[in-house]
């Protein structure tokens, strides 16, 4: 089957499924493989559950006329996505960065959808599988698609750009994330900048944070760009007003009060405002979209439970985002501040050094109490409470309940520190 024929089939059955637990009637099932599963083995089950066709790459599983054999299912999914993208009228905004991608993507979508028909990456489906699935969700009437791109090693963003062919791009920041794969912060900068490389080499449009000297320098000679800044009047100016505890800002004399905690969310808001201005979204609609956005999924949420005020930021963590969260927590006007922070993953041979640096930094901020969770934090030299696992923390807190006050809960996804809410 040619790609044109497969694309025609997709247009007749425009729903893609990769999990037999989520099969919908008349979908196309792509039998992807992973370290611990082989989707080919579930192809017939997908057909039995209502899938119209199953795309497989192992001939022994071709049990039906509705099984389509290809050389590589993942490669075919990516090629189909790229083919579909090239036939779509929608403009594509791609964004990447070390921190804040998902929140920024959701803010951009909130703003731009005030005027245009949009689609955006669902959740954080931002990898070599998620990006194709996002592209394949573009409909005939979609005007703008916001595509988040994640990466943990070099050349990954380059590959995703080749698939998505973005018209616009934005990098949130460069931080200490995925150092195990990138090798160093310089490796992170090179890897994330592959988005810039694609856009500039194809004469596409770039958005930037002009207060970020790395971004500003990399794009110094490029003309197809629009940036925001708090101080450089060559760019679109947005004023930071403060956090109490939510970010507030001012643009063109209009005050915007967000529901986002932490100064680190200010540039995320600015990026959405900047793109709203570029796409001629009225300022009153930009204000409404930003003020109406509520963070979810354990990202900088403020909760109240059993007498505790809680900053829940347990979706993910790396040294850059952890330091920003600690700094912001130290500035909050709150009684009795307690930390519960968990290990940061994918730091490779810098893990010990980075966890010690965070423990030291937290100690300087004079919080009332601190609980460090995970094998890396347990190995640090600190006077904070330390626990090698969540179970150890849970046992301790069951015997020594926390004193009422304000909590910051933050750690990498694998630590699942939102479980603390169940034991308060």
Please say which residue of 43, 71, 99 terminates a domain. Answer: 71
**Position 300 pLDDT exceeds 80:** no
263/193 same-domain check: yes
* Same domain for 404 and 359: yes
The whole-number pLDDT of residue 176 equals 75
Q: Give the SS3 label for residue 288.
A: helix
Q: What is the pLDDT of residue 243?
A: 87
Domain-ending residue, one of 292, 319, 351: 292
Same domain for 103 and 225, yes or no, is yes
Predicted confidence at residue 129, as pLDDT, reads: 95
Whether residue 288 is found in the same domain as residue 305: no
Residue 79: inside a domain, yes or no? no
Residue 228: give its domain's CATH number: 3.40.1190.10
pLDDT of residue 382: 96
pLDDT tens, residue by residue, 86-124: 999 999 999 999 888 999 999 999 999 999 999 999 987
Q: Are residues 248 and 393 in the same domain?
A: no
What pLDDT is stored for residue 332 in this prediction? 85
Q: What is the CATH number of the domain that holds 42?
A: 3.40.1390.10
Residue 281 tokens read as 């979204």
Q: What is the pLDDT of residue 34?
A: 86
Q: How many CB atoms within 10 Å of residue 414?
A: 14
Distance CA 185, CA 285 (A): 37
pLDDT digits (tens, 9 = 90+) for 173-216: 987 777 777 878 888 889 899 999 999 999 999 999 999 999 99
What pLDDT was estimated at residue 122? 92
Domain end residue (candidates: 71, 100, 131)? 71
Are residues 402 and 260 located together in one domain of the fold? no
Q: What percent of the chain has pLDDT over 70?
A: 100
Whole-number pLDDT of residue 357: 96
Taking only the tens place, the pLDDT of each residue in 378-399 is: 999 999 999 999 999 999 999 9
Which sign, positive or negative, has the C-alpha torsion 171, 177, 183, 185?
Answer: positive
- Three-class DSSP category at 410: strand
Could you give the CA distance from residue 35 to residue 55 in angstroms, rounded to a whole number?
19
Domain span at residue 315 reads 301-423
pLDDT of 337 strictly over 80: yes
Whether 83 is covered by a domain: the verdict is: no
pLDDT tens digit sequence for 251-264: 999 999 999 988 98
235 shares a domain with 346: no
* Statement to judge: residues 66 and 207 lie in one domain: no
pLDDT tens string 35-93: 889 999 999 999 999 999 999 999 999 989 999 999 999 999 999 999 999 999 999 99
Domain count, the chain: 3
Mean pLDDT estimate for the chain: 94
> Is 156 among the domain residues?
yes
Report the interhelical angle of 156-164 vs 194-201 (nearest 10°).
40
Q: What is the 3-state secondary structure (H, E, C) of 354-368?
A: HHHHHHHHHHHCCCC
Instruction: Look at residue 96 and tell me if it is in a domain.
Output: yes
Residue at 169 is within a domain: yes
Q: Is the same domain home to 253 and 145?
A: yes
User: Quick one: pLDDT at residue 262?
Assistant: 86
Whether 76 is in a domain gets the answer no
In a domain, 81, yes or no: no
The reply to whether 332 and 382 lie within a common domain is: yes
Q: What pLDDT, on the 0 to 100 scale, is given for residue 188?
A: 86
Q: What is the pLDDT of residue 175?
A: 79
pLDDT for the residue numbered 25: 94
CATH at residue 360: 3.90.190.20
| Residue 98 and residue 48 share a domain | no
Evaluate whether residue 77 is within a structural domain: no
Q: Clarify whether residues 404 and 380 are in a common domain.
A: yes
Please give the full DSSP string across 90-114, using - where no structure is assigned: -EEEEEE-SS-HHHHHHHHHHHHTT
């Amino acid at each position: 089957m040619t790609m044109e024929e497969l694309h025609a089939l997709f247009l007749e059955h425009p729903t893609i499924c990769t999990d037999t637990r989520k099969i919908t009637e008349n979908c196309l099932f792509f039998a992807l493989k992973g370290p611990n599963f082989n989707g080919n083995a579930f192809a017939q089950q997908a057909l039995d559950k209502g899938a119209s066709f199953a795309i497989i790459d192992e001939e022994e599983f071709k049990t039906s006329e509705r099984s389509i054999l290809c050389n590589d299912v993942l490669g075919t999914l990516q090629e189909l996505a790229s083919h579909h993208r090239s036939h779509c009228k929608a403009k594509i905004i791609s964004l990447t960065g070390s921190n804040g991608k998902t929140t920024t993507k959701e803010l951009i979508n909130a703003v731009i959808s005030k005027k245009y028909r949009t689609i955006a990456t669902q959740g954080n489906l931002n990898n070599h599988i998620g990006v194709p699935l996002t592209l394949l969700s573009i409909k005939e009437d979609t005007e703008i698609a916001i595509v988040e791109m994640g990466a943990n090693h070099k050349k990954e963003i380059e590959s995703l750009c080749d698939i998505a062919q973005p018209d616009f791009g934005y990098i949130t920041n460069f931080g200490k994330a995925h150092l195990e794969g990138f090798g160093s912060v310089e490796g992170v900068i090179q890897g994330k900048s592959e988005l810039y490389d694609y856009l500039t080499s194809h004469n596409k449009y770039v958005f930037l944070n002009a207060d970020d000297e790395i971004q500003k320098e990399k794009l110094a000679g490029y003309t197809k760009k629009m940036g925001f800044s708090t101080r450089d009047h060559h760019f679109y100016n947005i004023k930071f007003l403060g956090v109490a505890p939510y970010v507030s800002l001012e643009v063109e004399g209009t005050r915007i009060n967000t529901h986002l905690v932490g100064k680190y969310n200010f540039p995320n808001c600015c990026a959405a405002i900047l793109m709203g201005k570029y796409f001629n979204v009225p300022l009153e609609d930009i204000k409404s979209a930003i003020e109406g956005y509520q963070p979810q999924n354990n990202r900088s949420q403020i909760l109240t439970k059993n007498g505790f005020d809680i900053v829940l930021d347990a979706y993910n963590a790396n040294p850059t985002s952890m330091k920003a969260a600690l700094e912001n927590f130290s500035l909050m006007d709150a009684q009795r501040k307690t930390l519960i922070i968990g290990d940061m993953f994918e730091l490779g041979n810098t893990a010990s050094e980075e966890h010690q640096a965070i423990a030291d930094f937290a100690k300087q901020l004079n919080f009332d109490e601190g609980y460090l969770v995970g094998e890396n934090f347990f190995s640090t030299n600190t006077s904070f409470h330390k626990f090698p696992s969540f179970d150890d923390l849970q046992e301790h807190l069951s015997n020594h309940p926390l004193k009422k006050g304000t909590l910051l809960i933050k750690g990498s996804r694998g630590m699942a520190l939102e479980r603390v809410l169940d034991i308060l």
